[in-house]
Structure 1
Amino acid sequence: MQPLNIGILGVSNHFFKRCFTPLKHSKMIHVYAIASRNEERAREASTKWHIPKYYDSYEALIADKNLDAVYIPLPNHMHLAYIKKCADAGKHVICEKPITLNADEAIEASHYADKHGIKLMEAFMYRFHPKWQRAKELVMQGEIGPVTSIHTIFSYHNTNPDNIRNVKAYGGGALYDIGCYAISTARFIMDKEPIRVMGQAHINPTFHVDDLTSGIMDFGGPRCLFTVGTQTFPEQEVTIHGTAGTITVTIPFNDIPEIQGKILVKTSAGERVITFDPIDQYQLEFEAFAKAIREDLPVPLSPTDSIGNMKVIDALFQSAETSQWVTL
């Protein structure tokens, strides 16, 4: 398969810290171009990382006829506009989560992509790790009986006022940044949508974004609970509870590619640890995206799925404001 020429919008710390190295090793992806509105930063990144082309504007990169697709790791409030600009230029898009700021925007992005014949995928990398696929398989096989609840904790500590996660106008805050994972994993494991949600949020008095948010998703019996925080001790874990056991996914989101992945299964028969060879979930994610483009297949994480996630986020924000359950 011919490698996919991909361009990167912005000189993102996340991209170079998490994604670039595995993509350089991939035979399916070629990081062809990078853009920054600061030409010097774009040139420096191009030179340091041996990226063939650099541009001093996002629009110039998108216009490059040699590009097949664009990765959008820009601040959340810019996602919709640049999805549409990429679609106008016939470029496929893999966009960082959350795909947009609300469900209406996600619907607009999906329709625009369809209208222009491009593939659009939200970058939830965890979905591609074998440990998550195995966890869902165990649930579907009835390993722990019917699921009764899922408990998720995800947190980090960031008090930098200039960080986009702490800027309200950019779509900052805990629910957008990491609560989206708790919602996505619950919907993935339950394989359906919640019927109602309840949310509570603490709004940081300095940044005016939520820095600690908890939510309950009611799936018509089973309930999935989460707490996410941006100014608390770093932690992440997901435990799936069933009538006959539990499955705990360790390091569920920011998996470390150099070490074995693990899930812990507890049932009346005892405990066992299932391990997975070290693997890079970002490489798997981008390669799945490339395969969908080259073989004209549906992307493995559809815009419909992304719209579902944004509907839950919208409802949780509404619930946090009203202190009431919100029906979906």
Structure 2
Amino acid sequence: MTEPIRWGILGASNFASEHMGPAIHMADNAELAALATSSPAKAAPFRAMQPRLRVHDSYDALLADPEIDAVYVPLPNHLHVEWTRKALEAGKHVLTEKPIAMRADEIDALIALRDKTGLLATEAYMIVHHPQWQRAREIVQSGELGTLTHVEGVFTYNNAEDTANVRNDPAKGGGGIPDIGVYTYGSTRWVTGQEPQEITHADLTFENGVDVIARVAARFDGFTAHFVNSMRLHPFQEMLFMGDAGWLRLTAPFNPIVFGEAKLEVRSNQGERMERFPSDWHYKTQVENFGKAIRVGADYPWSLEDARGTQAMIDAVFEKGGRG
């Protein structure tokens, strides 16, 4: 039996306390060992999960902790590159929230540092760890849908009243595309194995310097794609892959359990079926896969190069539609 990965978390964000902290605590090969925060109140929910938790009063102090193997970085977007780099320089494996950078070329230095240190560094792109997405990729690439012709992706929510939310703050890398465009764009790339050839349309609506509604069209090799992402529309999410011999639809592709049951609906010349995934939790699986990659060299399904591809697409969307 391999030793568990001892995790430290930089910052006591709500997302970390509600999702990734519990995922690390529940994962089979992980130990929630330390947290960096100067706020005892923010540390409380983490201590409730793990009473032996060590709490450091600074990020640097946690990175200097010799009993930490891996660091999870849930900080605001504009801090991701800096603290990913510092974690690697401190000799820690690192899992950083998406988007790991604000521009694609910023990821190049992280790739070089990852290769130099031999440590695992990647973006917390949790959906590729969910079996509904692994099945979607398998089905699309198997040819069951025939020739893929079009992809439709929608992911929306409304945080207009939450003015203090970092997603509404341009200084902290806010915006709907960095937050949820990564899912519609990245999942299309991951399932098809293709990169966009051209962003053909980008109609972006901005408020206070952040994109709040994005209607984007792209052309890939052999198929087109259309995406709607918004922080000002009622919550909805769906991905649809359409071919000349069938189609595949995911009805809770990004927040399964929270938004609804993960279901994969297929209608093709081979018939109709519904595949259900009622209890799979991709945050926990992500942590476990990260540990397997470190301890036994298992393949990890999302690399810095994968993250760079999605960020390059985001950069192209902003180039086409403007940055507000």
Residue 167 of structure 2: aligned partner: 165
Residue 89 of structure 2: aligned partner: 88
Whether contact under 8 Å (2:194, 2:221) holds in the other structure is no
Report the identity percentage: 35
1:305 maps to a residue whose letter is: D
Of 200, 204, 207 in structure 1, the residue corresponding to residue 203 of structure 2 is 200
How far apart in 2 are the matches of 1:182 and 1:194? 13
Residue 319 of structure 2: aligned partner: 318
How far apart in 2 are the matches of 1:225 and 1:217? 6
Residue 304 of structure 1: aligned partner: 305
Displacement of 1:46 in angstroms is 4.2
Whether contact under 8 Å (2:239, 2:251) holds in the other structure is yes
How far apart in 2 are the matches of 1:283 and 1:40? 26
Residue 5 of structure 1: aligned partner: 6
Displacement of 1:65 in angstroms is 0.3
How far apart in 1 are the matches of 2:89 and 2:223? 42
C-alpha distance 43-239 of structure 1, shift in aligned 2 (>3 A) = closer
Match of 1:154, SS state, is: strand
For the pair 1:26 / 2:27, whether they are aligned, the reply is yes
Structure 1 spans left out of the alignment, 5+ residues: 323-328
C-alpha distance 297-27 of structure 1, shift in aligned 2 (>3 A) = closer
Displacement of 1:300 in angstroms is 2.5
Displacement of 1:252 in angstroms is 0.1
Displacement of 1:22 in angstroms is 3.5
For the pair 1:115 / 2:119, whether they are aligned, the reply is no
Match of 1:103, SS state, is: coil
Residue 244 of structure 1: aligned partner: 245
| 1:250-289 → structure 2 map (5 Å cutoff) | 250-256=251-257, 260-268=261-269, 270-289=271-290
| 1:132-143 → structure 2 map (5 Å cutoff) | 132-143=133-144
1:165 maps to a residue whose letter is: R
CA deviation vs aligned residue, 1:89-131 (integer Å, no higher than 9, x gap): 1000101111111111111221122222221111111101111
Match of 2:322, SS state, is: helix
For the pair 1:225 / 2:226, whether they are aligned, the reply is yes
Range with bigger deviation, 152-161 or 217-226: 217-226
Whether contact under 8 Å (1:155, 1:233) holds in the other structure is yes
2:234 maps to a residue whose letter is: F
How far apart in 1 are the matches of 2:301 and 2:273? 30
Whether contact under 8 Å (1:11, 1:41) holds in the other structure is no
Displacement of 1:61 in angstroms is 0.7
Match of 1:138, SS state, is: helix
Displacement of 1:261 in angstroms is 2.6
Residue 44 of structure 1: aligned partner: 44
How far apart in 1 are the matches of 2:296 and 2:15? 28
Residue 326 of structure 1: aligned partner: none
Displacement of 1:259 in angstroms is 7.3
Match of 1:186, SS state, is: helix
2:74 maps to a residue whose letter is: P
How far apart in 2 are the matches of 1:3 and 1:257? 28
Displacement of 1:50 in angstroms is 2.2
CA deviation vs aligned residue, 1:248-272 (integer Å, no higher than 9, x gap): 0110001118975311111245432
Whether contact under 8 Å (2:129, 2:301) holds in the other structure is no
Whether contact under 8 Å (1:42, 1:55) holds in the other structure is no
How far apart in 2 are the matches of 1:264 and 1:172? 33
Displacement of 1:53 in angstroms is 0.5
Whether contact under 8 Å (2:151, 2:240) holds in the other structure is yes
2:130 maps to a residue whose letter is: H
Displacement of 1:242 in angstroms is 0.6
How far apart in 2 are the matches of 1:221 and 1:141? 16
TM-score (norm 1): 0.92
For the pair 1:126 / 2:127, whether they are aligned, the reply is yes
How far apart in 1 are the matches of 2:206 and 2:214? 9
Of 188, 191, 197 in structure 2, the residue corresponding to residue 189 of structure 1 is 191
How far apart in 2 are the matches of 1:80 and 1:73? 12
Q: How many residues align structurally?
A: 319
Residue 78 of structure 1: aligned partner: 79
C-alpha distance 190-258 of structure 1, shift in aligned 2 (>3 A) = closer
C-alpha distance 43-283 of structure 1, shift in aligned 2 (>3 A) = closer
For the pair 1:55 / 2:73, whether they are aligned, the reply is no
Whether contact under 8 Å (1:35, 1:42) holds in the other structure is no
2:84 maps to a residue whose letter is: I
